[in-house]
Amino acid sequence: MKEETTISQILIGLLISGSLALFSLIYFTFYLFNLVDHFIHPSTVIEYNRGAMYGIGGIGLLSFFCGFLVLLFYRKLSPKAESRMGKGIIIGIILMFIFPLVSNFTVPSLIENSGYQRCEKAERRASWPIFRIHIYTDNRQVCE
């Protein structure tokens, strides 16, 4: 016999998915603004966090979260709302894979064209290569 889902289980699921969605979007936004700020106000060191670019997938997770909330409280979605939620999830998933790949090619070349050099000695080695933080400097002595 199948057990019915309790309200507490639903609320825990909502809390977890909502928290993950917000965290990923905040993480992405913080590092994106940090990177843009380095271009606007040049500094001696630029950090490029590759893993943070995957945070844009939070759009899909946030769409899923909002749809789940609507289903919880209203029990039925209108076709228009269902379509928007589905599009949000699909767009979020597509952006989560496309945006980091495109940025991994364009951002380093933009940084290097601005006169910075990659400083591999200062980089922390992450267990997954996608979460690596690239360090660039305009002064080679800072790297050594």
Domain range enclosing 58: 7-143
Interval 55-79: pLDDT, tens? 887 777 777 777 777 776 666 767 8
Residue 131 clears pLDDT 80, i.e. is over it: no
In a domain, 46, yes or no: yes
Q: What is the domain count for the chain?
A: 1
In a domain, 125, yes or no: yes
In a domain, 2, yes or no: no
In a domain, 22, yes or no: yes
In a domain, 66, yes or no: yes
In a domain, 54, yes or no: yes
CA distance 52 to 142: 25
In a domain, 18, yes or no: yes
Interval 87-115: pLDDT, tens? 877 887 888 888 888 988 899 899 999 88
More confident residue, 58 or 116: 116
Residues whose CB is less than 8 angstroms from the CB of residue 82 and which lie 6 or more positions away in sequence, other chains included: 67
With a pLDDT cut of 70, the percent of the chain lying above it is: 88
Tell whether pTM > 0.75: no
In a domain, 1, yes or no: no
